Amino acid sequence: MALKFDAALGTSVVVFAFDGQHLRSLVGAKSLEPYKGAPMLPTNWVKANDSVEDVAKRMMNRVLGMDQIYLEQLNAFARVYRNPMGRVVNIAYYALLNWDEVKDIKLQEGYRWVNYNDEPEMIFDHNEIYEMAKERLKRRVKRRPIGFVLLPQRFTFNNIHSLYEACLGKELDKRNFRKKFMRSELLIDTEETVFEAPGNKKPSRLYEFNQQKYEKLTLKGYDFKF
Amino acid sequence: MALKFDAALGTSVVVFAFDGQHLRSLVGAKSLEPYKGAPMLPTNWVKANDSVEDVAKRMMNRVLGMDQIYLEQLNAFARVYRNPMGRVVNIAYYALLNWDEVKDIKLQEGYRWVNYNDEPEMIFDHNEIYEMAKERLKRRVKRRPIGFVLLPQRFTFNNIHSLYEACLGKELDKRNFRKKFMRSELLIDTEETVFEAPGNKKPSRLYEFNQQKYEKLTLKGYDFKF
């Protein structure tokens, strides 16, 4: 069979962050024809002599101005006709960011934050890539504590409850969830409180993660039954 | 940035099967220069107008003569210098096969079964691909019951114990393992027995999987703590 160097490489990154109540994701706009201006995931071509992960990291740096982002390979999207220009394999990554670190960043032109379930219709198979990242996040949240990355250092129980509801895409009975989560011994009660919304009569307690316990669970994984 | 269609696509498949005592894997030999004759994973070029998964399936059909193989994408291996011929992205898959179905198959020339941990040094990054497949199998066996695929319809407890030891790469205390496994209610005692080796004084009981229970666990996953 003839060896053909006639495919192109691209990389997209699905970025998730949690603003305390809602998961958010980054969407860009296509800068060139075809489909100029159309919504798309942050995406870049990868030259034959360039590392896919480096390209993804440099792109994140350009879009967000952050040079330290943990990326994980999501999947290779390689359907023959996914891109009208020819055979383009998209090696996609996903990233979890802390909202406190990104909320004030001036995004590169064309980029915006969208709510987790309000993603627009995007070009090519980018909605499919996005869906797979959501599935990955859902599985991840059941298997490993991911709060350290997605939550601020101190957070209320409502924050963590909202985070799990958002990741799992379903309502979780608050009392049950609290009981199960407390049993994990992951949370440290800081004994401080905060008023979560103006007008609230009762303040909410602030928690931190128990780092040791957390790392142990991150390492060996757990199984949260909700 | 100039758009360059100058990468090539390939696909490798890591195939695992379990012969009752040992895990086995398929290794081929390179048919062309460079490295003609060198050990490699079953691998094929993917033409720009061909589906990666279809190519992987057709290759498995050629090597094994089986046209129904469940493949799962493992990862895209895309390091810049992984192949001396140029930028080749390898979208690798892994497959679990039933030994009873493959043991008598006359393999395509150049292919052979090797023991799980006795894989040869292979070309390019194929040992890395193989390692990742082993990691996947290890994680899989902790999360989902995979016996249906890897074990014959009826099997002894020793078979299943050996399978888990092989997948996890460590010794498992037999009594503890039995207790934990029995608690899962996955096994049905067929009340029949078999002499596992000539000279054995005591016959071993034969089990089957409880299909309903199995499917439920496959769906929602579990967490086996060994």
pLDDT for A185: 84
- Residue A61 is given by DSSP the state H
Per-residue burial over B103-128, b = 16 or more CB atoms within 10 Å of its CB, e = otherwise = eeeeeeeebebeebeebeebbbbbbe
Q: Which residues of B touch A (CB under 8 A)?
A: 1, 3-9, 44-45, 47-52, 73, 75-76, 78-80, 85-87, 89, 91, 221-223
Whether the pLDDT of residue A49 is over 80: the answer is yes
Using an 8 Å Cβ cutoff, are B112 and B17 in contact? Answer: no
- What are the extents of the domains in chain A? 8-121, 143-220
- DSSP tally for chain A: helices H, then strands E: 7, 9
CB–CB contact A91 B89 (8 Å): yes
- In words, the CATH class of domain B144-220 is mainly alpha
* Residue B90, C-beta contacts closer than 8 angstroms, at least 6 positions apart: B9, B10, B11, B12, B43, B76, B77, B78, B82, B124, B125, B129
| B192 Cα to chain A: minimum distance (Å) | 35
Q: Which of A127, A136, A147, A139 is nearest to A215 (CA)?
A: A147
Residue B50: closest C-alpha in chain A: A80
Q: Which residue has the higher pLDDT, B201 or A55?
A: A55
Average the pLDDT over each of A211-215, A220-224, B60-64, B117-121 and give the range with the smallest value: A220-224
In which element (H, E) is residue A28 found?
strand A23-29
* Of A187 and A223, more confident: A187
Instruction: Confirm if A222 and A213 have CB atoms less than 8 A apart.
Output: no
> B202 CA to chain A: closest CA distance, Å?
38
| Mean pLDDT confidence for B183-194 | 90
Distance in angstroms (rounded) separating the CA atoms of residues A4 and B168: 39
Compute the distance between CA of residue B42 and CA of residue B65 in angstroms, rounded to an integer.
Answer: 14
Residue B1's pLDDT is 45
Taking residues A112-131, report their average pLDDT. Answer: 97
Query: Given an 8 Å threshold on Cβ–Cβ distance, is A76 in contact with B79?
Result: no
pLDDT band at A1 (very low <50, low <70, confident <90, very high): very low
Report the largest interatomic distance among the alpha carbons of chain A, rounded to a whole angstrom.
73
The CATH fold of domain B8-142: Nucleoside Triphosphate Pyrophosphohydrolase (3.90.79)
Q: What is the pLDDT of residue A6?
A: 93
Question: Which residues of chain B make contact with A32, given a CB cutoff of 8 A?
Answer: none
How does DSSP assign A166-210, residue by residue?
Answer: HHHTS---HHHHHHHHHHTT-EEEEEEEE-SSTT-SS-EEEEEE-
Average pLDDT over residues A156-182: 92
Query: Which residues of A fall within a CB distance of 8 Å from B7?
Result: 5, 7-9, 48, 89
For residue A8, list chain B residues with Cβ-Cβ distance below 8 A: 3-7
Comparing CB atoms, the residue among B4, B9, B45 nearest residue A89 is B9
CB atoms within 10 A of CB B204: 16
- B100–chain A nearest CA distance, Å: 32
Given the DSSP bridges, would you call strands B88-97 and B8-18 parallel, antiparallel or unpaired? Answer: parallel
Q: Matching CATH topology for A8-121 and A143-220? A: no
pLDDT, one tens digit per residue, over A132-150 is 999 999 988 888 788 888 9
Average pLDDT of span A217-222: 69
Of B5, B44, B50, the CB nearest to A80: B50
CB contact under 8 A, A89 and B75: no
Cis peptide before A34 (omega within 30 of 0): yes
Within a 10 A sphere around the Cβ of A61, how many other Cβ atoms?
Answer: 14
**Mean pLDDT (whole number) for A36-42:** 97
Pick among 1.50.40.10, 3.90.79.10, 3.40.50.880, 3.40.50.10170: CATH of A8-121: 3.90.79.10
Q: Which fold has domain A143-220?
A: Arc Repressor Mutant, subunit A (1.10.10)
Q: Least CA distance to A222: which residue of chain B?
A: B223
Rg (CA), chain B: 20
Q: pLDDT digits over B153-184, tens only?
A: 999 999 999 999 999 999 999 999 999 888 88
